[in-house]
Homo-oligomer: A and B are copies of this chain.
Amino acid sequence: MNTKKPSPYLMNAWYVAALSTEVPADTLFPRKLLDTSVLIYRKQDGTAVAMQDRCPHRFVPLHMGKLKDDQVTCPYHALRFDCEGKCTHNPHGNGHIPAAAKVRTFPLVEKYGFLWIWMGDQPADLSALADYSPLSDGHPNGVGYTYMPRDCYYELITDNVMDLSHVDHLHGEIITTRGQLSPRPPKVTDTANSVTARWEWSQTPALLIFNSFLPDPQAEARHWVEITWRAPATVQLSIGAIQGPGNLDLKDCVGQYDLHTSTPETEGSTHYFFATRRNHIVEDAEYNAAKIKGMHDAFVEEDGIVLDAVHVEMGTTDLLGLDPVLLPSDVAPVKVRRLLKKLREKEISA
């Protein structure tokens, strides 16, 4: 829809537009992002580019056209555009190209297995894209990626990841902390555009995703999980377990390094992306496939249906406006909601 009201989203920021693997060569890939139709494709050298998925002539979605020599031809009257959005061919009349015949392009960066897009009016700020290189560094069988289209507002997904106190209640045996996590309020810290929460605890046996990789699977182990949200909607989560001496980090522990990131499609739907790299049996392709499938299914079938129901029941995207009861475990997600709102207000008034 062509809405005149200001976007509800933080615009000058990096969002994930797609997994790298979602956009093969020779393909016009359409996706609605932040209420805008976007076209993504790869040039012959492999570089991915993004532009508005509509012809400036009569507004045909360009992904219905043809890709050739890094250029897109509109299916309706065959205006042709290069990957900078410039019209390079007009088969009509004397072939003159009107100055206005331009398609808006968007900065697109491929990093860490994702295509990141910048849709705001300010110049794209590469330094605003955090370092998630642990995802790309290491054996290819030690990392998995997945994409989940969801029918809820994206902030509900951020809330979900920023408050892990739900894991013992919503999820099954496989990641239960045996009641150890809920009673512990996390240690929460923040910066101008990030919020971090960290929990540490011991449990017996260890988290079932880790215990078979520990010296004594049935014995107690020390655990930690640390999550860092960065504006607008990316959460990096690291988690691990250890028996005996050592630090609670991924160097010493059996653990994994995850990325949860969501991009609003509209105010009622979200593109949810996830990646996970583990530091154990990193060459095992079969284990890798089963692990990403298991996590995908849990997010969709356990978190997903609850968040969709919340979205419908709330009838608004403004959680705090509904005066929810707040628990100690809400410190981190509420900080995120408030900080994101502040950043967006600052952007609008700028």
Contacts and interface: CB of A to CB of B under 8 A. Distances in A.
B91 A306 contact: no
A78 B310 contact: no
Interface in A162-191: 163, 165-166, 168-170, 179, 182-185
Given A91-B179, A183-B92, A183-B95, A60 B313 contact: yes
Given A92-B328, A169-B91, A182-B91, A2 B76 contact: no
A136 interface: no
A76 B310 CA distance: 10
A149 interface: no
Interface in A80-103: 90-95, 98, 100-101
Interface of chain A, helix or strand or loop or mixed?
loop
Interface stretch (A10-18, A242-250, A314-322): A314-322
A92 B182 contact: yes
Interface residues of A, number: 57
A77 interface: yes
A61 B313 CA distance: 7
B64 A309 contact: yes
Copies of this chain: 3
A197 to B, nearest CB: 13
Interface stretch (A50-58, A120-128, A140-148, A342-350): A50-58
A207 to B, nearest CB: 18
A297 B101 CA distance: 31
A27 interface: no
A165 B58 CA distance: 13
A325 B77 contact: no
A110 interface: no
B315 A2 contact: yes
Given A183-B95, A313-B61, A75 B329 contact: no
A159 interface: yes
A60, A169, A185, A326 pick with most chain B CB within 10 angstroms = A169
B309 A60 contact: yes
Nearest to A98: B325
A316 B90 CA distance: 26
Closest 9 A/B residue pairs (Cβ) = A93-B328, A2-B315, A1-B315, A78-B169, A56-B325, A91-B182, A100-B325, A101-B325, A92-B329
23 contacts: A53-B313, A56-B325, A58-B319, A59-B310, A59-B324, A60-B309, A64-B305, A64-B309, A75-B170, A75-B306, A77-B166, A78-B169, A78-B182, A90-B327, A91-B169, A92-B165, A92-B182, A92-B183, A92-B329, A93-B182, A93-B184, A93-B185, A101-B325
